Amino acid sequence: MVISKNIFLRSIEFVLFCIAIHSNSLRSQEIRQYVVKRATAPLTIDGHLTEPDWQAAAFSEKFVHYQDGLPANPSTQVKYLWDDQYLYIGFICQDPDVWATMTERDDRLWHEDVVEIFCDPDGDGLNYCEIQVNPLGTILDIFFEKPFANGGIGNRTWNLDSLKTGVSVQGTLNNKNDIDTGWTAEVAIPFKELQFMAPSMNFPPHDGDKWRILTARYDYQRTEPQIVEASSWNQTDSVGGFHVPSKFGCIIFSKETVTSINSTK
């Protein structure tokens, strides 16, 4: 009877574990939303995220594995702000070993540590852009008429000429013999250069306007064999990877300034 009871208890524990995993996955599949407050003044794009506006801005939820929605490790979160010229996005990336080697614009940055932004303002799944920034501050900006799964091919000759980026490393870049805290990336996306993607929308946005955006990250651990953590704000799927506009998160622009918000992590 003792053996039967133990088997029964283990079975119950397994069922409860499966229910918890399933519930977590369902929650992560929901389209996450973030209300973007206005900055009180133009931000200095240096990657430090120490200005009072950034300190007051709310953190997003922590990133999840893009395939199954389980919590990602190391942790990543973002913050958003905006003004009449730019949408500002700040990445906060935990990372014990910050590294990157690519220095040429529009190189294949996704093969190393990098943060990514996918922006489809009108959410129609067409005419969206991708922006990547690595810990060296190298940029990739690329335009898609349609997603990969639908035959889309990225145009890497397309550039956001007024894009601003900054990076700060909390530790020692490219030194695997010490332990870093992480790195932060700051991106200012010019509204005027996105208007062609959604000509019927407002640029700059109006109070209450909604955009579809996915923020994502590749973290490569320099181990043998190499471990790669691919995570994003919203769960997408294993077929389209990050390129699933219908599963991008939703940001809502607010005319309210960030100083009136008390945020907690």
Q: Could you report the per-residue pLDDT of 132-152, keeping only the tens digit for each?
A: 999 999 999 999 999 887 888
Q: How many folded domains does the chain comprise? A: 2
User: Are residues 154 and 72 part of one domain?
Assistant: yes
Q: Is 146 a member of any domain?
A: yes
pLDDT band per the 50, 70, 90 thresholds, residue 74: very high
pLDDT tens for each residue of 142-184: 999 998 878 889 999 999 999 999 999 999 999 999 999 999 9
Comparing CA positions, the residue from 214, 178, 256, 181 lying closest to residue 33 is 214
Torsion angle, alpha carbons of 152, 153, 156, 162, to 10:
-10
pLDDT tens for each residue of 12-27: 444 444 444 444 444 4
What mean pLDDT comes out for the span 212-221? 96
- DSSP structure class, residue 151: T
What mean pLDDT comes out for the span 187-215? 97
Q: Is the pLDDT of residue 246 over 60?
A: yes
pLDDT band per the 50, 70, 90 thresholds, residue 265: very low
Tell me which residue has tokens 């070993």.
97
Cα–Cα distance for residue pair 80/38, rounded to 1 Å: 9
User: Are residues 6 and 72 part of one domain?
Assistant: no
Q: Is 202 a member of any domain?
A: yes
Cis peptide before 205 (omega within 30 of 0): no
Q: What percent of the chain has pLDDT over 90?
A: 78
User: Are residues 20 and 129 part of one domain?
Assistant: no
- CATH code where residue 107 lies: 2.60.40.1190
Report yes or no: 256 and 49 within 8 Å, Cβ to Cβ: no
This prediction has a pTM of: 0.86
Q: Is 15 a member of any domain?
A: yes
User: Are residues 39 and 128 part of one domain?
Assistant: yes
Q: Is 265 a member of any domain?
A: no
Range of the domain at 138: 32-260
User: Are residues 108 and 26 part of one domain?
Assistant: no
Cα–Cα distance for residue pair 67/139, rounded to 1 Å: 25
State the CB neighbour count (10 A cutoff) for residue 24.
Answer: 15
Would you state the pLDDT for residue 4?
Answer: 52
pLDDT band per the 50, 70, 90 thresholds, residue 73: very high
User: Are residues 223 and 95 part of one domain?
Assistant: yes
Q: Is 248 a member of any domain?
A: yes
